[in-house]
Amino acid sequence: MNLKEVIKAEKTGLDVGKWNDGHIPRSAFPLSKVKDKSYKFGPSYSWRVMKFSCLGNKCRVLIILNEGKQIFRARLGIDKDGDMVVLCEYEFHSSEPGWHCHFTLADLESIEPGAARDGKRRRPKMDNPAALFTASKANAVAIAARRFGCEVVGGLI
């Protein structure tokens, strides 16, 4: 199983958690190889976790948003033995302008759990400084759901 298969697969049991601010508990999106400081965000950052199942696996999407700094991240991972195997991170931020993904097409079994971006590709390869930041709390779940192939019905805010 790989990223393309996960995106195309039917999703079941979609559960979208509530918005939280600041610190992200490691239990929300466990990554054993990521230092604790990567989970610490100031109060201007909001985050929530979307969970679903597909292809016999439990999946999570960690959504991180800072509207003032125009930062959006949606990290897709598969639960594996209390850790996450990250397949893709869709994001917008000023240090790499424009909407882009860091991803792997490797098979799930060949990806080491616990790393945020181990050996990931980037698409598009070029930055797009003219791209507009369009994410908000009102549409962040829909942006992530559209990217990762989830059906979102109604206002999941």
Question: What's the one-letter identity of residue 4?
Answer: K
Residue type, 133: F
pLDDT tens digit string along 19-36? 999 999 999 999 999 988
Q: Tell me what the pLDDT averaged over the chain comes to.
A: 91
pLDDT value at position 155? 47
Residue ranges in the chain modelled with pLDDT below 70: 118-119, 151-157
Query: DSSP label at 84?
Result: E
Q: Is the peptide bond before 25 cis (omega within 30 degrees of 0)?
A: no
Q: What is the pLDDT of residue 157?
A: 43
Query: What does the pLDDT read at residue 120?
Result: 79
